[in-house]
């Protein structure tokens, strides 16, 4: 069962530079769509990859994006040699995205417009803005993402109406 708070707490403890994207980010903005994993866009900088490696070790992360029987290290070097990874952790599934297709959405770009959410107990996380989530979901052209775009647009309309 997914415990995104535990995963976020570990990433935060290790000072990993990341932004929550995907379903959990949508939920932070008020979406009620369920998700089975935590998606994060992480900074592809050497020191940050090292911090991410330590956080993944603490989480007991195992790669789940490899064919049966194929194993690779989950250490810092392996992380540096790749970009996007699917992990199973003791707190649920985690997708670490270092590079989006065609470089459409960079960490720097998404982080610049990210919103901060207080999750309680001193835990604060940055999540992609509603506008960026909508752009990312539209870019995938997946049926499930197209449905979520409608939800996110409605949430944005409610938010904007409250600001008037």
- The 10s digit of each residue's pLDDT in 144-153 is 888 888 899 9
Tens of pLDDT, residue by residue over 73-102, are: 657 888 998 899 999 999 999 999 998 876
Residue 76, domain member (yes or no): yes
Q: How far is CA 128 from CA 21, 23, 125, 148, in A?
A: 6, 11, 10, 15
Neighbours of 16 (CB within 10 A): 22
Establish if 134 belongs to a structural domain: no
Structural domain contains residue 158: no
Q: Report pLDDT for 74.
A: 57
- Total domain count for the chain? 1
CATH number for the domain including 36? 3.30.460.40
Within a domain: residue 163?
Answer: no
Give me the domain span that covers residue 111. Answer: 4-129
This prediction's pTM: 0.92
CA 20/CA 25 separation, integer angstroms: 6
The pLDDT tens digits of the residues spanning 101-140 come to: 767 889 999 999 999 999 999 999 999 999 999 999 888 8
User: Is 118 a member of any domain?
Assistant: yes
103-117: string of b/e by CB count within 10 Å (b at 16+)?
eebebebbbeebbeb
């Amino acid at each position: 069962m997914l415990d995104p708070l535990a995963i976020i707490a570990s990433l935060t403890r290790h000072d990993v530079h990341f932004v929550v994207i995907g379903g959990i980010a949508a939920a932070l903005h008020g979406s009620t769509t369920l998700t089975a994993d935590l998606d994060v866009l992480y900074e592809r900088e050497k020191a940050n990859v090292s911090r991410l490696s330590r956080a993944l070790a603490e989480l007991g992360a195992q790669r789940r994006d490899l064919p049966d029987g194929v194993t690779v290290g989950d250490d810092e070097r392996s992380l540096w040699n790749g970009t996007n990874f699917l992990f199973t952790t003791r707190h649920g599934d985690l997708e670490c995205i270092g590079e989006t297709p065609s470089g459409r959405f960079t960490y720097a770009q998404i982080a610049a417009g990210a919103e901060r959410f207080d999750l309680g107990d001193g835990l604060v996380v940055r999540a992609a803005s509603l506008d960026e989530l909508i752009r990312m979901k539209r870019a995938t052209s997946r049926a499930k993402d197209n449905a979520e775009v409608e939800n996110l647009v409605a949430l944005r309309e409610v938010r904007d109406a409250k600001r008037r």
